[in-house]
Chain A
Amino acid sequence: MRELKITPIKNGTVIDHIGNGLALEVLRIIGVRELDKDSSVSVAIHVRSGKLGWKDIVKVESMELSPRKVNAIALIAPTATISIIRDYKVREKRVVDLPSRIVGVLRCPNPTCISNQPEPIESEFEVTDRRPVVLTCAFCERRVDDFLRHLA
């Protein structure tokens, strides 16, 4: 069964197999306001999926994701696959993969952490648990498991 419910894109990125209901968070990470004029976005929410039961899909035209954004997606949508489309065809496909360090993606939940002060550094977390994922601030050692609330 073909699942192309939305117009095919010529060049761009497809984020498929997003956990049901998380598409809007993925959009937040992509940063809709940062898109250039050619980058239209289509979203499918609550689509039938063999593997997941239900899933969301996000397709962004004319844009490839920075490694930082891929890391952020890996955090909140660990089941996602990212396909790069060139000339209507899937050229590259990979599952997202959580690195051992997450730099700049999240804000430390501790308001008095030095990483939340005006210092020339980026936030940084170590992945200290993977199942479920728990991050620990590389500065103040605060643990974070509710990533959605702390996206930078």
Chain B
Amino acid sequence: MSLHGRDITSIRDLSREEIEEILASARKMIPYAEGSKVVHPLAEKIVAMAFFEPSTRTRLSFEAAVHRLGGNCLTIADAGATSLRKGESLYDTIRMLSSYADAIVIRHPNEGSARLAARASDRPVINAGDGAGQHPTQTLLDLATLHEAFGTLTGLKVVLLGDLKYGRTVHSLAYALAEFGSELILSSPRGLALPEERREELKRVGGRVSEQPDIRKAVQEADALYVTRIQKERFVDESEYREVAGSYRIDASVLASAKPRLIVMHPLPRAGEIAPEVDQTPHAAYFRQAFLAVPVRMALLASVLGSSRRGG
């Protein structure tokens, strides 16, 4: 198996074995991501960062990953607004970019844009988020965080909390966890439940899924609590939003009856979903999760773009 030269547009493009291999390689990348060791498999390589909508964190961690691997970035930080496109199709823009770079990382507001980019480009394309669609490297780093904490992705009980309707990160994560044989406990406010289509998809891969709207109960049995943002725009009136957001807030008292080893995850940035007091507890894993973005993206870039020979 080799990821060399492959497009990574959806977590579904990766087999379970391939995901395991990326996670294993990401673990080895940690000292290189921290800068305590140096490795340059991307020396002389250029990676284009085609960001058609702003996403500072994702872009920065991809750039850090490229730099740590000794490569160079061509960054278009807000391609939608710049004069780069001038009404040009995405197809043509990517076609042009693919002649300047060895790989393209794309973030775009329309679902399916990474697949389109992969067709336009003769270099590998990595999806860094396409609208409400896929964001496979986010899923990989979420899995890496769980794997680092528990040494496995099988048999875990993971609570997915918050906006499970629009939150794309939870859709791909739920799918991957179901495939690995972990159990999902869904906890969402009314109107923001996991869409039926997603639920059926989980069933198709044999996922065990239950619901527990009461956070305190949901947390008791869980190994991990994955918190997502609840966005104001999803509510008709402000007061309803505040009530819902308030009842889904994680603080020390919510975690009082949790297992000692429960980890709390969040894709960040948080907006009040997790009280700062949780940072001080051993449950807080979200900053570790944010750091793991770098070694995971390094591992992926190195296998897609690095020499096809293994090791080194």
Q: Number of contacting residues on A, CB 8 A?
A: 18
Is the CB of A115 closer than 8 A to any CB of chain B?
A: yes
Using CB atoms, name the residue of chain A closest to B10.
Answer: A141
Q: Is the CB of B89 within 8 A of A140?
A: no
Q: Is the CB of B115 within 8 A of A117?
A: no
A114-B116 contact, Cβ under 8 Å, with A119-B89, A121-B91, A139-B111: yes
Decide if B5 is an interface residue (CB 8 Å cutoff).
no
Nearest CB of A to B121, in Å = 13
Contact of B111 among A114, A119, A120, A143 (CB under 8 A): A114
Contact assessment for B10 and A113 in the assembled complex, using a CB-CB cutoff below 8 Å: no
Chain A residues within an 8 Å CB radius of B90 = 114, 117, 119
Q: Given the known inter-chain contacts A119-B90, A121-B91, A141-B10, please indicate yes or no for A113 contacting B111, CB distance below 8 A.
A: yes
Asked if A118 contacts B89 (CB within 8 A), the reply is yes
Is B132 part of the binding interface, using a Cβ–Cβ cutoff of 8 Å? Answer: yes
B254 vs chain A, min Cβ distance (A)? 34
Contact across chains for B10 and A119 when beta carbons are under 8 A apart? no
Output the nearest chain A residue to B113 by Cβ-Cβ distance. Answer: A114
B124 within 8 A of A: no
Among A112, A118, A143, residue most surrounded by chain B Cβ atoms (within 10 Å): A112
Docked Cα-Cα span, A120 to B133, in Å, equals 21
Contact between chains at B119 and A121 (CB < 8 Å): yes
> When A112-B110, A112-B111 are in contact, do A119 and B116 touch as well, CB less than 8 Å?
yes
- State the Cβ distance, B196 to closest chain A Cβ, in Å: 11
Is the CB–CB distance between B134 and A141 below 8 Å?
yes
Nearest CB on B from A14, distance (A):
38
Report A73-115 CB contacts with B as 1/0, cut-off 8 Å. Answer: 0000000000000000000000000000000000010101111
A139 touches B10 (CB 8 A): no
Docked Cα-Cα span, A108 to B112, in Å, equals: 11
Instruction: Say whether A22 faces chain B, with CB atoms less than 8 Å apart.
Output: no
- B interface bracket (residues with beta carbon within 8 Å of A): 20 to 34
Cα separation A120 to B112 with both chains bound (whole Å): 14
The reply to whether B112 and A114 contact each other, CB–CB distance below 8 Å, is yes
- Bound together, the chains give a CA A108 to CA B109 distance in angstroms of 16
Q: Are A113 and B112 in contact (CB under 8 A)?
A: yes
Which A residues are CB-close (under 8 A) to B116? 114-115, 119, 121, 139
B112 touches A115 (CB 8 A): yes
B197 within 8 A of A: yes
- A110 and B132 CA atoms in complex are apart in Å by 11
Within 8 A of A (CB), among B9-23: 10, 12
A140 touching B197 in the complex, CB below 8 Å, given contacts A112-B132, A119-B89: no
Q: Which residues of B contact A (CB under 8 A)?
A: 10, 12, 89-92, 108-113, 115-116, 119, 130-134, 197
Interface residues of chain A, those whose CB is within 8 Å of chain B, are 108, 110, 112-115, 117-121, 137-143
Q: A119-B116, A120-B89, A139-B116 are in contact. List 10 more A-B contacts (CB 8 A).
A: A112-B111, A112-B132, A113-B112, A119-B91, A137-B112, A139-B115, A140-B133, A141-B111, A141-B133, A141-B134
What are 16 contact pairs spanning A and B, CB under 8 A? A108-B112, A110-B112, A112-B109, A112-B132, A113-B110, A114-B112, A114-B113, A114-B130, A115-B116, A119-B91, A120-B92, A140-B111, A140-B131, A140-B133, A141-B10, A142-B111
